[in-house]
Amino acid sequence: MNGSTALPPWLPTAPCTPGRCAAHPETGRDDPAERAGAVLAAARLTAGIGAVLVGVLLAPAAGLLPAAARLALVRSWVRAVVRAFGVRVRYEGAADAVTGPLLVVANHVSWLDIPLVAAVLPGRMVAKTEVRRWPVLGTLAALGGTLFIDRDRLRALPATVRAMSGVLADGGRVVVFPEGSTWCGRARGRFRPAAFQAALDSGSAVLPVRIDYRPTGAAAYVGDDPLGASLWRVVTARRMVASIRILDPISSVQYPDRRALAAAAERAVARPTVARPTVPEPTVPEPTVLRPTAPQPTVAKDSANLSSLSVHQRVSSRPTAASSFRTPA
């Protein structure tokens, strides 16, 4: 499913392989305390596949619904699929606060990225043409209006960018993973600038989204990793949490070309998370009561509440080999 042989030289590659990325230094893949039991894992796998099949069966009927009802149904369904596989999700940021046409760009770690983003920012996904041939998932992708890109034909790229620009010009939303390949989460790729031309051509804003997983290794879907092996790692993770952080939109009119716009979005997504300092609640002083007695000596007391600022930093790993989900620049 993820095999990559005789790749064209223009395709991006990630220094990630299943052997290294499946073992994360924070947890350790062989630690029994970090693995779900076989019964629970099998139940999650069955529930997840069942939820996907329900979506396939209901897709034709859902196409007859009004747009708003269909959108709500799709969002509920993808959330149910992710939850069925045992993944808990934390969303940060206000997706509904950003209106109008948007080019949504996110870092790429796993096949889970697609339903996670679709649950909060549904739009026309951009994917490689190979996805169309995937069993079940390919059918769902086509029914969902995915824009397929032929990564082996560099001359087909301008047509894909024009299709993206058309969706944005009509007030729609396009979702793309501009790293062009899945990465392990500890290593990240640069944002390829091609997709950002669609935002410039249509005058649309760019909405960066950052995706993080804990444990990262179980979620990573890289290299020649088979989909079945990735599914099993996900369902056997005892506690998998996905964090989706919706960042501030970037106006495309502020940047002269697609490379500058891509670099700005890449910096926004790569910026480390900084915890906001806690502010102590103000205290109301006790009222002074005057008593008809001799004055008493007073003692001044000073106190200070110092808030702390914590920065969560990511540990980077040493590069290894090629990866999947590749699209040209």
pLDDT of residue 70: 83
Q: What percent of the chain has pLDDT over 70?
A: 70
Among the listed residues 89, 90, 119, 92, the one whose alpha carbon sits nearest the alpha carbon of residue 247 = 92
Q: What digits encode the pLDDT tens for the residues 84-100?
A: 999 999 999 877 777 78
Q: With a cut of 90, say whether residue 206 has pLDDT above it.
A: yes
- Residue that wins the pLDDT comparison between 293 and 243: 243
Give the lowest-confidence range in 85-89, 107-111, 285-289.
285-289
- Residue that wins the pLDDT comparison between 218 and 276: 218
CATH no. of 18-270: 3.40.1130
The tokens for 179 are: 């790293």
pLDDT of residue 305: 35
pLDDT of residue 17: 63
Strands (E), the chain: 87-92, 102-106, 124-128, 147-149, 173-176, 205-214, 240-246
| Averaged pLDDT, 313-329 | 40
How far apart, in whole angstroms, are the C-alpha atoms of residue 258 and residue 243?
28
Q: Helix and strand tally (H, E) in the chain? A: 10, 7
Q: With a cut of 50, say whether residue 316 has pLDDT above it.
A: no
The answer to whether the beta carbons of residues 12 and 189 sit under 8 Å apart is yes
Q: What digits encode the pLDDT tens for the residues 123-167?
A: 888 887 777 777 767 777 777 778 888 766 777 788 889 999 999
How far apart, in whole angstroms, are the C-alpha atoms of residue 89 and residue 80?
11
pLDDT of residue 2: 54
The tokens for 202 are: 């249509």
Tally Cβ neighbours within 10 Å of residue 212. 18
Residue with tokens 């350790």: 28
Compute CA 84 distance to the chain's CA centroid, rounded to the nearest angstrom. 18
Handedness of CA 327, 70, 251, 116 (dihedral sign): negative
pLDDT of residue 32: 55
Q: What digits encode the pLDDT tens for the residues 126-135?
A: 887 777 777 7
Q: What digits encode the pLDDT tens for the residues 9-60?
A: 445 566 566 666 655 444 444 455 567 788 999 999 999 999 988 988 888 8
CB contact set of 256 (below 8 Å; sequence gap of 6+): none
Could you state, in order of their start, the residue ranges of all structural domains in the chain?
A: 18-270
